[in-house]
Amino acid sequence: GAGVSQSPSNKVTEKGKDVELRCDPISGHTALYWYRQRLGQGLEFLIYFQGNSAPDKSGLPSDRFSAERTGESVSTLTIQRTQQEDSAVYLCASSLQASGYNEQFFGPGTRLTVL
């Protein structure tokens, strides 16, 4: 079946602009996760959803970052007033449920470049 998809694959924006990143999880997966991967570094947890609610927003780096999920499906990560330090690959993942033992399935990522 179809895996996790993300769009756009690449996004170049100017400092101060807002961007929206989209994630389509695997059908039937109730949990959805967002991570950030800076060049040459590991994954940094941003936020997760169980259904449409986000119990853990602790990883969001600032109030410029927000995310929502609708219909227990698509999720959008929004970054307002982008800064150069926001440049990274943003990865989305989904799993059957938000439990610690379910493996997460990752999308290909969105590479964000802020000029």
Partner 1 sequence: AQSVAQPEDQVNVAEGNPLTVKCTYSVSGNPYLFWYVQYPNRGLQFLLKYITGDNLVKGSYGFEAEFNKSQTSFHLKKPSALVSDSALYFCAVSNGASGGYNKLIFGAGTRLAVHP
Which region, judged by CB under 8 A, interacts with partner 1, from 12-20, 42-50, 69-77, 78-86?
42-50
Report the C-alpha gap between 24 and 27 in whole angstroms: 8
Query: Which one, 80 or 108, has the nearer CB to partner 1?
Result: 108
| 3-class secondary-structure state, position 58 | coil
Contact 93, 104 (CB under 8 A): yes
105 sits near partner 1 (criterion: CB under 8 A): yes
Among 26, 56, 66, 96, binds partner 1 (CB under 8 A): 56
Q: Measured between alpha carbons, how far is 108 from 23 in angstroms, rounded to an integer?
A: 10
Q: Which is nearer to partner 1, 43 or 80 (CB)?
A: 43
Tell me which residue of 19, 17, 21, 18 sits closest to 7, measured CA to CA: 21
Closest by Cα among 92, 91, 78 to 32:
92
Residue (82 or 94) nearer to partner 1, CB: 94
Q: CA–CA separation, 90 vs 44, rounded Å?
A: 9
Q: Looking at beta carbons only, is 5 or 80 nearer to partner 1?
A: 5
Task: Show contacts with partner 1 in window 65-104 (CB under 8 A).
Answer: 91, 93, 98-101, 103-104
Residues that bind partner 1 (CB under 8 A): 4, 31, 33, 41-43, 45, 48, 50, 55-56, 91, 93, 98-101, 103-109
